[in-house]
Structure 1
Amino acid sequence: MRITGVFPPNIPNMQAYLFASRLFLLFLSCQYKNVLLTMKHPLSQFGYCPKCGSADFETNDEKSKKCAGCGFVYYFNPSAATVALILNERQELLVCRRAKEPAKGTLDLPGGFIDMDETGEEGVAREVREETGLEVEQASYLFSLPNIYIYSGFPVHTLDMFYLCKVAGDGRLSAMDDVEEAFFIPIGQIRAEEFGLDSIRKGLKKFLSGGLFVNL
């Protein structure tokens, strides 16, 4: 598999550059964690019944609110999302730098929300294509982890499904959509704490410590 495109730049005094970059990434990750700690439960932001519009929309239990007017019960369930783990023939992992909030500027893995009527495999392939320009030939489900993703100031609870993906060998790697840059990093140089989203950090630790990448 030979993928062309964006790779880490050739910078003089690379060690100093990497050290400074890692300090900055840790700072950004800590900032995002602090934001999450200040967020209220998502249900508290729903003041009106989404069915009839009544303001008499009260807490039913810890997972739902109920409208006293029409009887509608709203359960706040997690949204489905995908994460792609892509390795090249040199056992380097494809990572991205986030171009937008949340956790703008931190490292990430390709992926995103699943669209309506889409399978997990279709969703992860589409997200990889949209963000990197690469075509997924095979996606193998590994595991899932919960996450909280802040979108427009609203905490969206997600269930992130991790896939080990094989991409076409003649692709050209490009940073697109909400990705600032995309490049491969040797497995031994991956630092989970440099990734801004909690599920990604936990997923990387699980992926690397469990040797799940050896069966690519």
Structure 2
Amino acid sequence: MKHCPRCGASTDAPPVECATCGYEVFLNPRPTGTAIIFDDADRFVVIRRARPPQVGWWDLPGGFCDGWEHPRDAAVREAREELGVEVRLGDFVGMWIGTYEYQNEQLSVLDCFWLARLAPGATITLDTSEGTEYAWVPLSDPPPLAFITMESAIREVRRSPGRLVP
């Protein structure tokens, strides 16, 4: 960031207070919502990423929050967009600060995770712009995931087997 978003004066990188108008700019993480969707066999669904960053890596269904969208609502929406399914969210797993590369910049993100199940009768229809394939993998042997925050969330679920999945 080279200019104040309010008055256009030259500035330093955030956090900064504009010397011209006094506007304060902060570098805050962008929130995301992610569903860790389980089946009855203690497996969870992963998606092989079709686009950057981390093309080809395994991913969980989730993404950035829209406008004033709560991360919980984003997790439900992202499952619908990426897998074509409705989900029921269960317990909140946690949130972790991570990074996401976008347009050659490292963005700070606040990744929020919930346990989930597919709604009754739901059948996955993968959005091929999001993923090239999906798989159900055992919690006891997860594949390497695209983002470190996802690895942290899965470790947390493994540590707390009594969590509620609807």
Per the normalisation by structure 2, the TM-score is: 0.90
Gaps of 5+ in 2: none
SS in 2 for 1:76: coil
Aligned to 1:3: none
Q: Deviations over 1:129-181 (max 9, x none)?
A: 00011101334322111110111112111111110112212111122142222
Deviations 1:170-213 (A, max 9, x none): 1111221422222211223313xx11211111111121133255
Q: 1:208 aligns with which of 152, 158, 163?
A: 158
Tell me, yes or no, if the aligned pair for 1:174 and 1:182 is still in contact at 8 Å. Answer: no
> In the aligned structure 2, how far is the partner of 1:180 from the partner of 1:212?
32
- CA separation of 1:139/1:211 partners in 2, compared to 1, >3 Å: closer, same or farther? closer
Output the amino acid matched with 1:210: S
Instruction: Note if 1:183 corresponds to 2:138.
Output: no
Q: Counterpart of 1:138?
A: 89
Q: How many residues align?
A: 164
1:43 is matched with which residue?
A: none
Which residue in 2 is equivalent to 1:51?
A: 6
| Shift in Å, 1:106 | 0.5
What are structure 1's unaligned runs of at least 5 residues?
A: 1-45
Residue number in structure 1 paired with 2:115: 164
User: How large is the RMSD of aligned CA atoms in angstroms?
Assistant: 1.6
Q: What's the TM-score, normalizing by structure 1?
A: 0.71
Preserved contact between residue 86 and residue 93 of structure 1 (Cα < 8 Å): yes
Go from structure 1 to structure 2 and tell me whether the alpha carbon gap of 1:139 and 1:117 turns closer, same or farther (over 3 Å shift). Answer: farther
Bigger fraction of residues in helix: 1
Determine if the alignment matches structure 1 residue 197 to structure 2 residue 151: no
Find the aligned partners of 1:58 and 1:119 in 2 and give their Cα distance: 31
> Which amino acid is the alignment partner of residue 205 of structure 1?
R
Match in the other structure for 1:17 = none
| 2:37/2:115 contact within 8 Å kept | yes
